[in-house]
Structure 1
Amino acid sequence: MDITIEELKERLDKGEALNLIDVREEYEFDEFNIGAKLIPLGELPDRLDEIEALKDQEILIHCRSGARSGRAKEYLESEGYTNVRNVLGGMLAWQAAGY
C-alpha cells in the first residue's frame, strides 16, 4: 500500500526512523530534498547491496511526481522486497502542500 505526503510528513515530524529512498537525479536532490538516501532510479539495480538489509522492512520511495518511484517499487518487489511504499505525488505534491 502506498503512502500519502501527509502521512509521511506526520511520521517525519514525530521523528520516526524511516527507510526513505529518493530515486531522483542528483541535481534534483541538490535543489530540494527531505533527507532521504539518494539512489537514482537508473542506479538502483547496481546498488541493491546498499539496501539488502531492508528486504523485509518498510521502505518508502519518492521521486518528483511519483512515477519513477512507482517503477522503483515494482522493481524492488520483483527482487523480493516485501514492504515497499510509493510516496504518492512525490516532491511536487510535498512542495505544493507547503511542507
Structure 2
Amino acid sequence: MDEVKEITTKDLQEKLENNESLNIIDVREDEEVANGMIPTAKHIPLQQIPEAINDLDQDQEYIMVCRSGGRSMNAASFMNQHGYNTINMAGGMLDWDGEVVF
C-alpha cells in the first residue's frame, strides 16, 4: 500500500493564506466540527467517506483533517486505495493555530 503523504498544520495554513485552491475534508463528528472547522473545509464524517467518495473528483487532491490525525489518516489511506490523491494533516485540529469557522 502506498504511504499517505502528510502536510503540517503550518504548511496548510500558509497555502490557505496564499489563497491556493485546496480541497479540505474534515472527517470529524458533528459535535467536534461544531467547535470550529478550517475555512473552506468540507465536512464528511469518517463513516460516510465510503459512499461520499463517489461524488469526489479523482483528479483533485484532498487534504484530510480530524482531531489528532488518526481518523483522517484512515480516511486518506482508504481513499488512496480507491484511486484518490490524498494528504493527511498531521496533528489534526489539536495542532491547528489558524482561523476556524463555526
Gap runs ≥5 in structure 2 = none
Q: Residues 14-70 of structure 1: CA distance to partner in whole angstroms, max 9, x if unpaired?
A: 11110110000111111111121000001111211221x1x1322100000000000
TM-score w.r.t. structure 1 length? Answer: 0.88
Q: Determine which of 85, 88, 96 is the counterpart of 1:86.
A: 88
Query: Per-residue deviation at 1:85?
Result: 0.3
Q: Determine which of 33, 43, 48 is the counterpart of 1:43.
A: 48
Q: CA RMSD in A?
A: 1.0
More helix by share: 1
Identity of paired residues, percent? 43
In structure 2, C-alpha distance between the alignment counterparts of 1:56 and 1:50, rounded to whole Å = 12
For residue 62 of structure 2, what is the aligned residue in structure 1?
A: 59
What amino acid is the match of 2:24? L
In structure 1, C-alpha distance between the alignment counterparts of 2:74 and 2:43, rounded to whole Å = 16
Deviating beyond 3 angstroms after TM superposition, the runs of 4 or more aligned structure 1 residues are none
More strand by share: 2
In structure 1, C-alpha distance between the alignment counterparts of 2:80 and 2:91, rounded to whole Å = 20
In structure 2, C-alpha distance between the alignment counterparts of 1:73 and 1:39, rounded to whole Å = 12
Q: How many residues align?
A: 93
Gap runs ≥5 in structure 1 = none
Q: Determine which of 10, 15, 18 is the counterpart of 1:14.
A: 18
In structure 2, C-alpha distance between the alignment counterparts of 1:77 and 1:31, rounded to whole Å = 28
